[in-house]
Structure 1
Amino acid sequence: MRAVAAAAAGVGLDLAFPGVGWWPAAPLALAGLFVLLRGVRPAVGALVGGLFGLGFFVPHLGWSGIYVGPGPWLALAALQAAYIAGFGVAVALLGRVGPQRTGQLMLMAPLWVAQEAARARTPFGGFPWGRVAFSQADSPALGWAWAGGAPVVSFVVASTGALLAVAAFEMRDRRGRAHVTKNPATPLAAVVGSALLMAGGALLPLGAGGDGEPSRSVSVAAVQGNVARPGLDFNAERRQVLANHHAGTLALAADVRAGRVPAPDVVLWPENSSDIDPTRDRLAARDITAAAEAVGVPVVVGAVLAEPAPRVSNATLVWSPLGEVTDSYVKRRPVPFAEYVPYRSFFRTVTTQVDLVRTDFAAGKGAPVINAGPVRFGVAICFEVAFDDQLRDAVRQGAGVLLVPTNNATFGRTDESLQQLAMSRLRAVELGRSVVHISTVGVSALIRPDGSVTSSGGHFTAEVLSATLPVSTALTPAARLGAWPETLIGAAGFAVPGLVMARNRTARRRRRR
């Protein structure tokens, strides 16, 4: 029964994320997990955590197998579930030496943050997808990102779950029968406290909050050009994706001349809008230059560069109306097993599907910022938006607006694009910046610093999004604090039981005297 409940709670957590998007499911699912883990042995903790992880990650990552089959999808889900199994073991072990009952339940929140931190860093650079914080884009808890980033949002949601678990235990006796608690105020206080904790994020002053910072704005146009067909071969019809974005920009220029839309300061294209290297291909360069000339402003292009040979690079190029590349950024975190294959010869013995990645992408080493038009943009290409330090580094280097160019064509009509958009909305609040989230196929959006969407596109449509967005160079508390909140929260999950154990040992020694 415990095993079935654990898997069901994991499925419940997935309901908090887009496309269902019922965010209260996150604290409720974690409350269920915490109840199932209290007082268990390490082996049971591993089983409960692992089944919860599979119940969550199998549906949550279903998009990863849409075109490559169930093997890679289920392997990725199992790997991520293993971290939650480890969380279950840690809870069981620390519960034996640390606080009991209420104390043990509340310690599960920082341990959950520590588990997410480990997933975000290991192996092969980590996989932060599925962090609880990313389920809260429409929740009042989103505001906590301003104070301490995604780790603090996850901590708040996990702490809410822990308080709900406390309330549940206070209403039941050791044999599982409902009873009137000795202190009826305790479960009520736990439930009220959980609600206040989640709602507290709505009271925080969102935005960078720089006193005296002059009011600035930038007019942007983001072109979602669409592809000929979804799937791994989205760019099989050579030049078609580039042609789509070229045509969308020419249509934008016509609308500007006719007075239907305001003239932009910069035009932004998504990742892979030119899979042909325009720095080497004359026709690709001609089309991009023609688009920039038509609008009379720089066009920011997502391009695949044929360097450093024999590898390639996933780059964002600032292309001027004169046909010059005035600035660039190369993706620092290529996706393992999607953009490069680590230990290829070894993994080929496991599955020949690794050879679907024909050429490895090289990791860039430059700062994640570009100067385009009147603004310095912080850039996170696709998968990079899930990492806390990527855009935080950018705003610390003066980025006034954030750019997330992405290509979702390889995931079809799944929830992957909505999951990623939720991450961009959290980054807007966390860093006090407007975000241009632009995809080849959608769902694209222009996001204000409070996380609200001012303009959005459809899925597998050709559209141009336009808006005037605020620009800021001030730093939020989350940007200033960096990784410290995550470090301190995670450390507390292990330090508190250690302190309790030391205190208990001291007390026993005194009694012996």
Structure 2
Amino acid sequence: MALPDDQERSATEPGAPAPRPGRLTRIRGGLPRTGLAVVCGLLLGLAFPPFDLWPLSILGAAGLSLLVRGRTVRQGAWTGFAFGFPFFLLLLDWLRVIGTDAMIGLAALEALFVAAMGAGLALTSRLRAWPLWAACLWVAQEWARDRLPFGGFPWGRLAFANTGSPFTPLAALGGAPLVTFAVALCGALLAWASLRVRGPLRARRMPRAAAFAGVGAVATVLAGYAVPVPTAADDTVKVALVQGNVAQPGMDFLGRPMMVLNNHAAATERLAADVKAGKVPRPDAVIWPENSSDLNPFLDPAAYARINQAVQAIGVPTLVGALIDGPDNQHVQNEGIVWDPNTGPGASYTKQHPVPFGEYVPFRAELSTVITRLQRIARDFYPGTHSGVMQLGPARIGDVICFEVAYDEIVRDTVNQGGRVIVVQTNNATYALTGQPEQQLAMSRLRAVEHGRAVLIAATSGISAVVAPDGTVLQHTKELTAAELSATVPLRDGKTVADRVGAAPEWALAVAGLLACGAALLGGVRRRRSGGIPDGTPAESESLTPVAP
């Protein structure tokens, strides 16, 4: 059939845009890219505990940069989702204990942030120095996930895969965001170098550009070695961590009433016997984990008496974890309570960041009728309003509870307000032997370096650990075993650069990434208006063929 004159000319004239491929053709053409995105996402998942293959975090970031290079915004978003969804499925596999639907739902929600980043990466790949903007967008994506929705869920930050890598010391300068930036920058530089190595040599400086990018990536990896991590002690304290264990892992870890409390009291009394026998030094303070008392000691006389008995046996102040009634019948408070052997309970810290759908139910009235499993959360946790800085014997501690160790500002506040050692009270019994305790331990290692503080982790069923200010794990327990750890740890008063600058590096890098997206959008609009790029036609730089820098 003959084409109309105008269509015939548009299809045959030199320089005329080629007809756009059909929808099915575009889908089929995008399948290999989608498959590669899935593979790269899984590689990134293997960088995190319990696998701990941290170099794969660089390769994962590099792979995503290559896959979205020169793509449209829509293609970048889809590639980002195809990368993020399998990554979070692998990372959050421990949520299967709660339910496969919970794991899939949270993975999909978190992947939407990566999809938005993928769109931004595609946009900024048209700009000069795009590896820099790519690294900034990784920080922006993590900034958003750290806060949205319901206070955010920062699991899976690139920094948390690099708690024992050459990038780790950078945390002392700019916290977790700077570590993420360095890892992402290294990956993007490797992607940039690979494009110039495999592309046609249209410019003599391309080999030099590839070499420059490679050197930049290596320098980024090695930069951490130039950062001094402060470890000198201003004082020391002898501490004991008690891991009493639980009856069984999973949703019903508590067992019968007072079982968990009896386990921790009995472990403390064993420790007291070892001290009396001279097997271990007498501690200055003892730390019990989150939920170590499964009954409210202020309402249950038996629970109060059992705690008092154990604390008097060891004879030193003990940090006890318990659930306490909140301001009304609908709320409870997750607390760490300083229990003195002579005066009983004293100062306390209430968890500031309860976990949505785990410790409280947003939109309870509406959702509980649809998701009946939420009815198991009978009462919501009431958030605390101040940091966990308390005096525990001779030590001024900064207490954080469980998932709070993932949130930058909560840990930073405890240090800036006077905490000389960081304490993490946690109850991972629900997720025992799933990899989640290893992921949380990794976060604690990064916090040690970030703030130049020893970190003491007390867990009901493991992993309890003693972490030095340089991130080294000095002691740790096995999971699902009763154990006690004794150690002398440094107390420090000095602050790292990260403590002093706070969230400023994160905000600066995130805003830079968003401004780069704005510049790319504005540039595209200007090109279309000038007639340089017909609407709906990708720019020349959108192909994977490299352009001269």
SS at match of 1:379: strand
Which of 387, 392, 406 is the matching residue for 2:426? Answer: 406
Q: 8 Å contact 1:208–1:474 — kept in the other structure?
A: no
Q: 1:451, CA displacement in angstroms? A: 0.4
Deviates more, 1:500-509 or 1:214-223: 500-509
Deviations 1:332-357 (A, max 9, x none): 01100000001012223542222121
Aligned equivalent of 2:366 = 346
What is the distance in 1 between the residues matched to 2:521 and 2:145?
28
TM norm structure 2 = 0.87
Calculate the aligned-residue CA RMSD, in Å: 2.2
Aligned equivalent of 1:144 = 170
CA change 1:459–1:357 in 2 (3 A) is: same
Q: 8 Å contact 2:389–2:397 — kept in the other structure?
A: yes
Verify: 1:455 aligned to 2:455, yes or no: no
What is the distance in 2 between the residues matched to 1:351 and 1:473?
48
Deviates more, 1:492-501 or 1:415-424: 492-501
Equivalent AA in structure 2 for residue 332 of structure 1: Q
Which of 83, 105, 109 is the matching residue for 1:79? Answer: 109
CA change 1:337–1:243 in 2 (3 A) is: same
Q: 1:367, CA displacement in angstroms? A: 2.4
Q: Select the structure of larger CA radius of gyration.
A: 2
Structure 1 residues not aligned, in runs of 5+: none
Deviates more, 1:55-64 or 1:283-292: 283-292
Which of 116, 129, 133 is the matching residue for 2:155? Answer: 129
Aligned equivalent of 1:108 = 134
Which of 68, 74, 98 is the matching residue for 1:37? Answer: 68
Q: 1:190, CA displacement in angstroms? A: 2.1
Aligned equivalent of 1:374 = 394
What is the distance in 2 between the residues matched to 1:120 and 1:322?
42
Over the matched positions of the two proteins, sequence identity in percent amounts to 45
Aligned equivalent of 2:357 = 337
CA change 1:90–1:411 in 2 (3 A) is: same
Q: 8 Å contact 2:54–2:162 — kept in the other structure?
A: yes
SS at match of 1:436: strand
Q: 8 Å contact 1:9–1:55 — kept in the other structure?
A: no
What is the distance in 1 between the residues matched to 2:525 and 2:250?
61
Verify: 1:268 aligned to 2:300, yes or no: no
What is the distance in 1 between the residues matched to 2:134 and 2:107?
22
Which of 440, 449, 462 is the matching residue for 1:420? Answer: 440
TM norm structure 1 = 0.93
Equivalent AA in structure 1 for residue 274 of structure 2: D
Q: 8 Å contact 1:10–1:53 — kept in the other structure?
A: yes
Equivalent AA in structure 2 for residue 172 of structure 1: R
Verify: 1:294 aligned to 2:320, yes or no: no
- Give the number of equivalent residue pairs: 498
Verify: 1:201 aligned to 2:224, yes or no: yes
Deviations 1:69-114 (A, max 9, x none): 2111100000000000011122233445xx14xx223311101100
What is the distance in 2 between the residues matched to 1:279 and 1:80?
39
What is the distance in 2 between the residues matched to 1:389 and 1:460?
31
Aligned equivalent of 1:23 = 54
What is the distance in 2 between the residues matched to 1:340 and 1:408?
17
Aligned equivalent of 2:16 = none
Deviations 1:251-291 (A, max 9, x none): 11111111111110100000010020112211111111111
Aligned equivalent of 1:315 = 335
Aligned equivalent of 2:190 = 164
Q: 8 Å contact 1:94–1:494 — kept in the other structure?
A: no
Pairing 1:47-62 to 2, within 5 Å after superposition: 47-62=78-93
Aligned equivalent of 2:77 = 46
What is the distance in 2 between the residues matched to 1:273 and 1:220?
17
Verify: 1:88 aligned to 2:108, yes or no: no
CA change 1:118–1:241 in 2 (3 A) is: same
Q: 1:503, CA displacement in angstroms? A: 9.2
Aligned equivalent of 1:326 = 346
What is the distance in 1 between the residues matched to 2:321 and 2:379?
18
SS at match of 1:222: strand
Structure 2 residues not aligned, in runs of 5+: 1-31, 530-549
What is the distance in 1 between the residues matched to 2:221 and 2:49?
19
Pairing 1:440-451 to 2, within 5 Å after superposition: 440-451=460-471
Q: 1:201, CA displacement in angstroms? A: 1.0
CA change 1:110–1:445 in 2 (3 A) is: same
Which of 155, 159, 163 is the matching residue for 2:181? Answer: 155
